[in-house]
């Protein structure tokens, strides 16, 4: 156990607490003295009922429990302690003189004891055992604290993204509209350069609007309750293809769609998936080769497995771990426009409902995206 990073408690932190229960005061004194150097606060009780009173008031890192006590023995005390939810993870070490009988071990294990110390107590063994549990306790506390901090900063970030994008919609719309009014109203008085500048303003306002919408969609996933209904995936696909009909016609794209299932799921999710995957398949066309896109689905256990396959430029394996990362764009905006948010929204949403998304790709030959949705 050498070389392990020791947890260094800050001065303001309260030390962990150890509870020692024994009906003999001299044992309590001896054990307390032995454990004091470990830096924990030590509380003692001379009976099971006193111990239970203390458990109500304090939260402990470890309980050392004498088995042979009058009135309420160690087993009964432990059983009652374990009925409290906050005691569930607290290690109880039985201190006992009775020997290694089988029924003792079974009974102790049933109650949830984690360890035994046999009398007469060997001070070194007791001390090192307690130290191990104290270290575990401190590490656990530290992880819990870190988790809480992480969760909080995550929530703050999500809220920030949501509020930001929500409030940015207004100003960017104003820029676009009033630049448009300038184009309309002032065309006669603006020279060529000025007209070009106005166009830059509008083009960039439009780009920014797309980003804001995508960020909003992304941050809504998980914020807002997922509403499910009976969704005919064939119908959602047909609607999505209608939205793309201009691009499909322009690029002479061929779409093959197999029969898709009827699922109890979020219609928004299915729409986002088809919009992004088919949109990408159309966008990442290989030169002048007309896009060929096939969409199919098959049942696989408790899931439905969907495939969206294209004959586009493919994805370089070097970038494969970045495909689903938010704001990761693998191409310049001038080559292939996009915000780098679509696929991360797909992944986030799918994970939320118990599905997932992956892809396989051969650069120059095409990409197949595979996503799964619970069949239910």
Partner 1 sequence: MYTDLEILLVEDNEGDVEMTRRALRTAKPQCRLTVANNGDQAIKLLQDVSVQPPHLILLDINMPRMDGKAFLSAIKQDETFRAIPVVMFTSSESPNDIRECYERYASGYVVKPFDGVQYANTVREVVHFWGEVSQLPS
Residues that bind partner 1 (CB under 8 A): 166-167, 169-170, 173-174, 176-178, 180-181, 184, 206, 209, 216, 220, 224
CB of 178 to partner 1, least distance (A): 7
Q: Closest CB to partner 1 among 129 and 202?
A: 202
CB of 329 to partner 1, least distance (A): 22
Helices (H) and strands (E) in the chain, counts: 10, 12
CB of 240 to partner 1, least distance (A): 18
Q: Closest CB to partner 1 among 239 and 292?
A: 239
User: Peptide bond preceding 370: is omega within 30 degrees of 0, i.e. cis?
Assistant: no
CB of 268 to partner 1, least distance (A): 8
Question: Which residues lie closer than 8 Å to 30 by C-beta, 6 or more apart?
Answer: none
Ramachandran quadrant class, 39 (left: phi over 0; alpha: psi -120 to 50; beta: rest)? left
CB of 209 to partner 1, least distance (A): 6
User: Closest by alpha carbon to 126, among 62, 187, 83?
Assistant: 62
DSSP 83: T
Q: Closest CB to partner 1 among 12 and 184?
A: 184
Q: Closest CB to partner 1 among 174 and 187?
A: 174
Q: Closest CB to partner 1 among 169 and 234?
A: 169
The DSSP element (H or E) to which 12 belongs, if any, is none
Question: Which residues lie closer than 8 Å to 344 by C-beta, 6 or more apart?
Answer: 218, 324, 325, 326, 327, 328
Contact 74, 49 (CB under 8 A): no
CB of 347 to partner 1, least distance (A): 21
Contact 23, 67 (CB under 8 A): no
Q: Closest CB to partner 1 among 108 and 216?
A: 216
């Amino acid at each position: 156990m050498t070389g392990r990073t020791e947890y260094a408690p800050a001065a303001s932190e309260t030390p962990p607490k150890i509870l020692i229960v024994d009906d003999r005061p001299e044992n309590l004194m001896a054990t307390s003295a032995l454990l004091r150097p470990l830096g924990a606060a030590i509380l003692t009780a001379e009976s099971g009922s006193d111990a239970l009173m203390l458990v109500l008031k304090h939260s402990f890192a470890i309980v050392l429990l004498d088995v042979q006590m009058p009135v309420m023995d160690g087993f009964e005390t432990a059983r009652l302690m374990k009925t409290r939810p906050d005691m569930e993870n607290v290690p109880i070490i039985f201190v006992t003189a009775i020997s290694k009988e089988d029924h003792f071990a079974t009974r102790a294990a049933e109650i949830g004891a984690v360890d035994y110390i046999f009398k007469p107590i060997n001070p070194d063994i007791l001390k090192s055992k307690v130290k191990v549990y104290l270290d575990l306790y401190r590490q656990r506390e530290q992880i819990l604290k870190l988790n809480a901090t992480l969760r909080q900063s995550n929530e703050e970030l999500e809220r920030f993204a949501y509020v930001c994008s929500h409030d940015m919609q207004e100003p960017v719309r104003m820029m676009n509209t009033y630049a448009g009014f300038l184009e309309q109203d002032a065309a006669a008085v603006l020279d060529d350069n000025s007209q070009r500048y106005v166009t830059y303003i509008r083009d960039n306002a439009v780009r920014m609007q797309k980003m804001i919408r995508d960020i909003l969609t992304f941050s809504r996933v998980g914020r807002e309750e997922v509403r499910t209904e009976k969704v005919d995936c064939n119908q959602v696909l047909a609607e999505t293809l209608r939205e793309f009909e201009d691009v499909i016609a322009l690029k002479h794209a061929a779409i093959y769609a197999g029969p898709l299932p009827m699922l109890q799921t979020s219609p928004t999710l299915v729409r986002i998936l088809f919009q992004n995957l088919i949109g990408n398949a159309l966008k990442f066309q290989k030169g002048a080769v007309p896009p060929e896109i096939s969409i199919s689905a098959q049942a696989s256990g408790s899931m439905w497995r969907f495939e969206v396959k294209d004959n586009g430029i493919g994805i370089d394996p070097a970038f494969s771990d970045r495909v689903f990362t938010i704001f990761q764009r693998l191409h310049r905006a001038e080559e292939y426009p996009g915000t780098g948010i679509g696929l991360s929204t797909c992944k986030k949403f799918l994970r939320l409902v118990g599905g997932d998304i992956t892809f396989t790709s051969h650069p120059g030959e095409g990409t197949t995206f595979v996503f799964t949705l619970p069949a239910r």
